[in-house]
Amino acid sequence: MTQDSAPEERSGGMPSRSRYGPLEVVVGERGVEAAIRLFKRVVLRDGILQTLKRRSHYEKPGERRRRKEREATRRRRKQERRALSRDRGTER
């Protein structure tokens, strides 16, 4: 690998882009199938499909606020579970 390689190649094939910028996947040595799998993984990770489904219908401000609170609670619980599992792993 050379010094002037693209950032996509250096980071294990993961595309680099801004949060709201266009999604770009470079087809490299692995071929089109691998690029499609990578694209699907990135779309899933960024939550693009979930956002599209959510925006297909109007969401009232109150519903939006309740959804945001539910998501925050879910994230908080997930972090706590991960912290507990890490602590248990270090005690053994």
Same-domain pairing of 50 and 66 = no
pLDDT tens sequence across 42-76: 888 888 888 889 899 999 999 999 999 999 999 99
Residue 88 belongs to domain spanning: 59-92
CA distances to 9, 27, 55, 57 from 2, in Å:
10, 18, 43, 48
Same-domain pairing of 52 and 14 = yes
Domain tally, the chain: 2
Q: Tell me the whole-structure pTM to 2 decimals.
A: 0.54
Q: How far is CA 34 from the centre of its chain?
A: 18
Same-domain pairing of 11 and 47 = yes
Q: What is the pLDDT of residue 15?
A: 55
Same-domain pairing of 8 and 30 = yes
Same-domain pairing of 31 and 68 = no
Same-domain pairing of 69 and 51 = no
Please check the confidence at residue 79 and state whether its pLDDT lies above 70: yes
Same-domain pairing of 10 and 51 = yes
pLDDT band at 5 (very low <50, low <70, confident <90, very high): very low
